Amino acid sequence: MPAMEFAGDVSWGYNSAHIFAIESAYGGPTAFKDFVRAAHAAGFAVLLDVVYNHFGPSDLNLWRFDGWGEGERGGVYFYQDHRAATPWGETRPDYGRQEVRQFIRDNALYWLEDFRVDGLRFDMTLYIRTISGDEGSEGDQLPDGWSLMAWLNDEIADRFPGRITIAEDLRQVDAVTATTGEGGAGFGAQWGAAFVHPVREALIAAEDDDRSIASLVDALTR
């Protein structure tokens, strides 16, 4: 799950406010590096969750970073129109602004290079490639978000061969894991709703009678 600095000391981490900082309640960067080294020594790979579909929404030093914003919007790091809106607040980064793209790109590479994690799991990529999740609507598309993901995956594949990127997209769209040369986003794998939900239900059920083994088999063999 995301380990970046968030508001308060207790959170799932999906409200990351400072994406280059390890949450202080977790021990900061040195403790995280020690954790990764210990995991590798024990034979475990470390995959880190990253959140680029929104920032915050609270405790954001990036909010009106240079003192400017349109209306109640967040300024140069964020969209200044309806594209700012996400299910988690109106703090979607402006994927069309080169400086913002570079900021996110540098962050992704930072975890792979400085912390030696083995891969990145991108939180809810549907809201990077669309505004509101309506992928059937041409007006809901975010081409800049799609091109950002493709750029990141090309950079990672080139600089860190053998590392993996995983998209939590949940829509079973083949293009998410197609190569960028084929017009895809270039992810190595993607989460599918047809897998995660039946497996979760089987794991959390307290009684065997409440589990559907047929659904679990279908999820594992689909």
pLDDT in tens, 202-218: 999 999 888 988 998 98
Name the pTM for this structure.
Answer: 0.91
Residue 192 pLDDT > 90: no
pLDDT at 196: 83
Please indicate, yes or no, whether residues 41 and 90 belong to a single structural domain of this protein: yes
Question: What does pLDDT average to over the chain?
Answer: 95
Please indicate, yes or no, whether residues 149 and 209 belong to a single structural domain of this protein: no
Please indicate, yes or no, whether residues 126 and 197 belong to a single structural domain of this protein: no
pLDDT at 194: 82
Please indicate, yes or no, whether residues 201 and 102 belong to a single structural domain of this protein: no
Residues near 77 by Cβ (< 8 Å), separated by ≥ 6?
55, 62, 63, 65, 93, 94, 97, 100, 103
**Average of pLDDT values for 81-105?**
97
**Average of pLDDT values for 95-121?**
98
Please indicate, yes or no, whether residues 166 and 206 belong to a single structural domain of this protein: no
Q: What percent of the chain has pLDDT over 90?
A: 86
CB 128 within 8 A of CB 142: yes
Residue 222 pLDDT > 80: no
Residue 68 in tokens: 């400017």
Residue 139 in tokens: 């007006």
Please indicate, yes or no, whether residues 132 and 217 belong to a single structural domain of this protein: no
Q: What is the CATH number of the domain that holds 114?
A: 3.20.20.80
CB 148 within 8 A of CB 154: no
CB 180 within 8 A of CB 165: no
Please indicate, yes or no, whether residues 83 and 169 belong to a single structural domain of this protein: yes
Residue 5 pLDDT > 90: yes
Please indicate, yes or no, whether residues 95 and 143 belong to a single structural domain of this protein: yes
Positions marked catalytic: 123, 168
- Domain range enclosing 211: 193-222
pLDDT at 81: 96
Summarize pLDDT for 123-171 with one digit per residue, the tens: 999 999 999 999 999 999 999 999 999 999 999 999 999 999 999 999 9
Helix ranges (H only) for the chain are: 28-41, 98-113, 126-129, 143-159, 174-177, 193-204, 213-221
Please indicate, yes or no, whether residues 169 and 202 belong to a single structural domain of this protein: no
Please indicate, yes or no, whether residues 52 and 95 belong to a single structural domain of this protein: yes
Please indicate, yes or no, whether residues 114 and 208 belong to a single structural domain of this protein: no
CA distances for 87 relative to 11, 53, 91, 132, angstroms: 17, 10, 10, 8
Total domain count, the chain: 2
Phi-psi region of 80 (alpha: psi -120 to 50; beta: other; left: phi over 0): alpha
Please indicate, yes or no, whether residues 144 and 168 belong to a single structural domain of this protein: yes
Q: What percent of the chain has pLDDT over 70?
A: 100
